[in-house]
Amino acid sequence: MLKDYISRLNGLSIVGGEGKRLRPYTDHKPKALLPVGMEKKPMLEFTILNWVKLGIKRYIFCVGYRGKMIKSYFKSGNRFGIQIDYSLEKSGLETGGAIKNAIENKKLSKDRPVVIFYCDDIVKLNAENFIKSHLIGVKHGFKATIIATKKFRTNYGILEV
């Protein structure tokens, strides 16, 4: 069941923001392409690594700000052994708007499971265990699984775990 589920999974990354908090680094480059780690690889490359290793083959990148640069780097995804489609945001849509836009553009199907992540979600994660935990929740009627720290804080509030 796990392999079948993974084979149906899409990865969707929100990479359309301007990265205002990282200025001046993002004045001429999108946050998704900022180099990180010893290897100086783009941030988005690190975030997809766990999911690629897990076996997810199809990705949708919701691009906006400097999206052409992201497309130029990742192209079709062939060199990573994956397929990448791009959902273009004409204006900043935020997370929910970006997902809705990808569905409306027929890049993302509501009938397939999806892992949604931001380009700067650089975490140590056992992706297989995460999916297994999600599937246990699905058996009990859950529709979504979220990863958060004990004191997850965003501009939108605090998630109490």
pLDDT in tens, 87-126: 988 776 676 778 888 888 888 888 888 888 877 777 777 8
Residue range 9-124, CATH number: 3.90.550.10
pLDDT in tens, 77-95: 999 999 999 998 877 667 6
* CA gyration radius, the chain: 16
Question: CA quadruple 37, 58, 52, 153: dihedral positive or negative?
Answer: positive
The reply to whether the predicted model has a pTM over 0.75 is yes
Spacing of C-alpha 83 from chain mean position: 14
